[in-house]
Amino acid sequence: MLFDSADGILDLRSFEEFKVAHLPESTWMAWQDVPDHLNELPAAPAKLFLVGSHQAIEEVSLYLHEKNYQVSGSLLINHAEDLARWQQQLPGLFISGKQSKTLWSPSALVKEFIESVVTDTKSHAGTAVDLGCGGGRDSVFLAKQGWQVTAIDQESRVIKRAKQLASRAGASVKWKCCDLKKAGCLPETEFDLVLVMRFLNRNLYSEIDARVKPGGWLVFQTFVEGVEVFGSPKNPNYILRKGELAQVFADFKVIIDRIDILPDGRPVACFVGQKRGGNRPD
């Protein structure tokens, strides 16, 4: 079946219809809500299989295509009679209930940091700040792991999405909507973890360094030179030079310094460093 190879099955019907019968491992999301809940989907260019009415599938397919997702197939259900016909044609493949699968996940580097680096160094969850948090996946994930997270982004609509994600996940995050280029946006306090994902402002390097406690962590990932051939980003202000982070944050013990390739082919620099000093071993 086409949905077997998809990265997610998105059921766009009403929740009442979803509870009556849906494909296993489905995720329920009302089709009108998709634009406001994009952060609850796997990152593009993921493949999604859609279930719903003709209008829902058509409109959501167009929107997902604009956002660089792939629609691998669809199951058309306009009326109860359509559902009954599919249940006859696909016997045993529908289940009932309200269980909706979680599709979103944190950045691979953040997950690696928690599951490998933190574990290997016997570190513990502490305070964290996420600079340019976007849809909030990483902030919510860290909060679920016990971190006390402050998440900052300058776009109110993005923060609204992130708050919705946190609410659905049952995570407590302190959200702050402000421009990091302006004084007073970045808290003056030091953190056990400073997280910078898909965000670059070289003028903040010294402030980022100052916000990491001795013995604390810097996890940094964004686009690196070579990404220009993919069309976005092209502005050198938003593109790292190879080896730049290790050079700038020379007072950190480097744990990870490599270039990864995103599913869409674009290269990103991945850096994890521990600030020397404090009670943690160098």
The residue among 124 and 220 whose pLDDT is bigger is 220
Q: What percent of the chain has pLDDT over 70?
A: 98
Please state, in angstroms and rounded to a whole number, the distance separating the CA atoms of residues 111 and 101: 19
Beta-bridged to residue 274, according to DSSP, are: 217, 253
Confidence category of residue 1, pLDDT binned at 50, 70, 90:
low
Please state, in angstroms and rounded to a whole number, the distance separating the CA atoms of residues 133 and 273: 19
Find out whether 76 and 48 touch, Cβ atoms under 8 Å: no
User: Could you give the strand order of the β-sheet that contains 26-28, starting from the edge strand earlier in sequence?
Assistant: 26-28, 8-11, 47-52, 70-76
Q: What is the 3-state secondary structure (H, E, C) of the chain?
A: CHHHHCCEEEECCCHHHHHHCECCCEEECCHHHHHHHHHHCCCCCCEEEEEECHHHHHHHHHHHHHCCCEEEEEEECCCHHHHHHHHHHCCCCCECCCCCCCCCCCCHHHHHHHHHHHHHCCCCCCEEEEECCCCCHHHHHHHHCCCEEEEEECCHHHHHHHHHHHHHHCCCCEEEECCCCCCCCCCCCCEEEEEEECCCCHHHHHHHHHHEEEEEEEEEEEEECCHHHHCCCCCHHHCECCCHHHHHCCCEEEEEEEEEECCCCCEEEEEEEEECCCCCCC
The answer to whether residue 281 scores a pLDDT higher than 60 is: no
- Based on the number of CB atoms within 10 Å of its own CB, is 27 exposed (0-12), middle (13-18) or buried (19 or more)? buried
Please state, in angstroms and rounded to a whole number, the distance separating the CA atoms of residues 21 and 130: 39
Q: How many CB atoms lie within 10 A of CB 18?
A: 23
Confidence category of residue 123, pLDDT binned at 50, 70, 90:
confident
User: Could you give the strand order of the β-sheet that contains 267-275, starting from the edge strand earlier in sequence?
Assistant: 174-177, 148-153, 127-131, 191-197, 212-223, 267-275, 252-261
Q: How many CB atoms lie within 10 A of CB 52?
A: 25
Tens-digit pLDDT profile for residues 144-168: 999 999 999 999 999 999 999 999 8
Q: What is the pLDDT of residue 263?
A: 85
pTM: 0.88
Q: What is the pLDDT of residue 43?
A: 87
Q: What is the pLDDT of residue 282?
A: 47
Confidence category of residue 55, pLDDT binned at 50, 70, 90:
very high
Which numeric CATH code is attached to 108-275?
3.40.50.150
User: Residue 58, CB half-sphere, CA atoms under 13 Å: how many?
Assistant: 4
Arithmetic mean of pLDDT, 94-121: 94
Q: What is the pLDDT of residue 257?
A: 97
- Based on the number of CB atoms within 10 Å of its own CB, is 230 exposed (0-12), middle (13-18) or buried (19 or more)? middle
Q: What is the pLDDT of residue 122?
A: 87
CATH H-level, domain 2-89: superfamily: Rhodanese-like domain (3.40.250.10)
Tens-digit pLDDT profile for residues 58-95: 999 999 999 999 999 999 999 999 999 999 998 999 99
Q: How many CB atoms lie within 10 A of CB 277?
A: 12
Find out whether 32 and 55 touch, Cβ atoms under 8 Å: no
Arithmetic mean of pLDDT, 179-206: 95
**Domain boundaries in the chain?**
2-89, 108-275
Tens-digit pLDDT profile for residues 215-233: 999 999 999 999 999 988 9
Which residue from 220, 216, 190 is spatially nearest to 280, judged by alpha carbons? 216
